[in-house]
Amino acid sequence: MRHLTLIALLLSSLALSGCSDGNSVQPGPVGGGSSPTLHVVNGTAATVEVRVDGAVRQAALAPYSISPSISTTVGSRTVQLVATGAFAGTAQVVVQTESGARETVAALPGSGLPLLAVTLPDTGYQVGANRSKLRVVHLAAASPPLTIWRTQPDFQTPISIMTPYAYLATAIVESSAGEWNVRVWPTGNGSWTAAAGAIALTIPAGQLRTVATMDAPGGGVQLKVVEP
């Protein structure tokens, strides 16, 4: 069964301020147990420091990269993103976390602002027995209009995920557990065998994975997996 959803990312609290390195890095547990977890996707050309409730949890998240899983606690968590260098600026968002939930926050280039912080809602996380789900999200601000296709464990012929695949769009598709392949290319200028970005991943039974489409250093696009 195919389930497809197109939603806008929720723009949240934005703030601009000077950069500060006054907080030392506070180590914390990474993943595991029933603690809620957080990933930060850096969709900007800046290096970003990640703070959760004021404590530095990722000192220098590289441009166009994804943080490791950050374990946090249930409740209202303030995630602050501090960009350094030529793109200096600060943005923050409040995330409501629940036990066992996985939350994703993205740092994105702002329109007239150095930095935006947005949340990607944890929709479609419940996965049936012997099933898997793939979520894709378009975070490549500089890319042209894109086409996105996949093969899935129970169907090896390429299938379109969504059209159009526009900036900030997201979709979820479901299949049996196993190997997925995802490929993107500029609309009208590419194909499955001539993709601009490609990734293969295995999704175990009962789990969901998110594949983010991101700008690539030096131009073009890349696909990255947000691991649980």
144 phi, psi to nearest 5 deg:
-75, 175
pLDDT average, residue stretch 81-85: 89
Q: Residue 200 domain-assigned?
A: yes
18-27, 28-37, 43-52, 125-134: range with lowest mean pLDDT: 18-27
Q: Is 161 helix (H, G, I), strand (E, B) or coil?
A: strand
Residues 19 and 53 in one domain: yes
> 71 lies in which domain range?
10-120
β pairing state of 178-186 and 197-203:
antiparallel
What pLDDT score was predicted for residue 228? 66
Amino acid 99 reads S
Same domain, yes or no: 112 and 201: no
pLDDT band at 80, cuts 50/70/90?
very high
Per-residue model confidence as pLDDT tens digits over 52-64: 999 999 999 999 9
Kindly report the pTM of this predicted structure: 0.80
**Residue 168, both tokens:** 């900030």
Same-domain pairing of 116 and 14: yes
Distance CA 91, CA 79 (A): 9
Could you tell me if 112 and 152 lie in one domain?
no
Residue 114 lies in a domain: yes
Query: What pLDDT is recorded for position 12?
Result: 34
The string of pLDDT tens digits covering residues 144-162 is 899 999 999 999 999 999 9
Distance CA 203, CA 162 (A): 20
In a domain, 47, yes or no: yes
Are residues 223 and 41 in contact, defined by beta-carbon separation less than 8 angstroms?
no
Considering the domain boundaries, does residue 209 fall inside one?
yes
Question: How many separate domains does the chain show?
Answer: 2
pLDDT at 20: 30
Considering 28-37, 82-91, 215-224, the range whose residues carry the highest mean pLDDT is 215-224
CA atoms within 13 A on the CB side of 219: 0
Cα of 40 vs its chain's centroid, Å: 7
